[in-house]
Structure 1
């Protein structure tokens, strides 16, 4: 009986060790330092559904797949389970999906949200810059969002999560998503580990060199990088849409 118990305990310890390694391999996230991601927005329909990025005091950019007829935008949020006194909840005035959005291929997966009133810019709420040029392979990016990692339950984490990732080559992206990746999508992952599972909410920002280069388009693809809308391809569309509205 004693030998059986020892073997059972050894098996449990081995399982926990393997699970811990796997969990670390998939998650690789950490609590974002307070006020370190002042541009991130939580899109709500009574609860959090997607993320977005504040690009001016009155405009947020997100993924077209996050479209809802009624959305409320929450800015300055870090902990969804606490009253922090920093959150601005603003209704939306207009939502503009890219006219070429394809839900099957995720091409043109981008939309703009005009806030009903401008956000108050402060230490907790600040816009992020649009890209001045397209990113190159190996560029460091900060991914942020409230998405719960794979196989860890259905609830979102209460604190904003960050991950450190890198832009991958077009060839690596096409190999990871044959027949799915387009010129309007980029792959961002961990070049040292080779994958990038569940790295943020749909619509969440990938900010590289201080500029918004990616909008989370597809997450939770195990052993694959994340697919992101390539924002540099849409800078003119964004600027024209804002000017027209």
Structure 2
């Protein structure tokens, strides 16, 4: 399942977040507003997690060593909403913890992708309900025009949209930082969107393929 590519962090027990694992297993890829908390410079990263309330014997708990946010991150527009988290020690790779592949190129419109996380299954005004087990959703990538029309003047070249314009299925609250895997490659991390599965309001993801050189250079320089 998709849990192979997920990490889970609990910031002070308040937010449930997940991050895609990058090709260097000591580094996790996330987005900024999901996890960046200046008060806490170290978080516990959980790998191999599936049911967050049960110890299943597959988990690895590793403290973060360093947060590296993208220098162009804009908190007003959410542009370049991407960061790397260096782990304090290497993870052990096995059938439950496996690195996700970085994209070799950007994905085409209409590509079906897997989005996963432990976010709320309902919008918060309906009373949030967080699942115990990892949730997974298949959703298509939408064209830049469709994305822009859904969110006029809010979409930058570093964002992609995925989901269904008819609504009803989308990533949701608490999924910030969740990975979007397309053809086995990490093409997006959940960035923002209006509420949960709203009609004509697809989810917005940081476009990972625009950041391949930054990710590789940052990892190489440690």
TM-score computed with the length of structure 1 as normaliser: 0.81
CA distance, structure 1, for counterparts of residue 170 and residue 192 of structure 2: 10
CA distance, structure 2, for counterparts of residue 196 and residue 189 of structure 1: 7
CA distance, structure 2, for counterparts of residue 233 and residue 123 of structure 1: 29
Partner of 1:237: 214
Cα contact 1:148–1:155 (8 A) shared by 2: yes
Q: Which moved more, 1:107-116 or 1:149-158?
A: 149-158
Larger Rg: 1
1:181 aligns with 2:152: no
Q: 1:196 deviation in Å? A: 4.5
Q: Deviations over 1:110-159 (max 9, x none)?
A: 00000000110001000100001011110010000000121553342111
Q: 1:50 deviation in Å? A: 1.5
1:228 aligns with 2:205: yes
RMSD in angstroms over aligned alpha carbons? 1.6
1:117 aligns with 2:89: yes
Compared with structure 1, are the counterparts of its residues 194 and 156 closer, same or farther at alpha carbon in structure 2 (3 Å cutoff)? Answer: closer
Alignment of 1:73-112 (within 5 A): 73-112=45-84
Partner of 1:62: 30
Q: 1:84 deviation in Å? A: 0.5
CA distance, structure 2, for counterparts of residue 198 and residue 153 of structure 1: 16
Q: Which has the higher helix share?
A: 1
The gaps in structure 2 that reach 5 residues or longer are: none
Query: What SS class does the counterpart of residue 212 from structure 2 fall into?
Result: helix
CA distance, structure 2, for counterparts of residue 186 and residue 198 of structure 1: 14
Q: 1:99 deviation in Å? A: 1.0
Partner of 1:52: 19
TM-score computed with the length of structure 2 as normaliser: 0.89
Cα contact 1:196–1:226 (8 A) shared by 2: no
CA distance, structure 1, for counterparts of residue 109 and residue 16 of structure 2: 30
Partner of 2:141: 167
Partner of 1:22: none
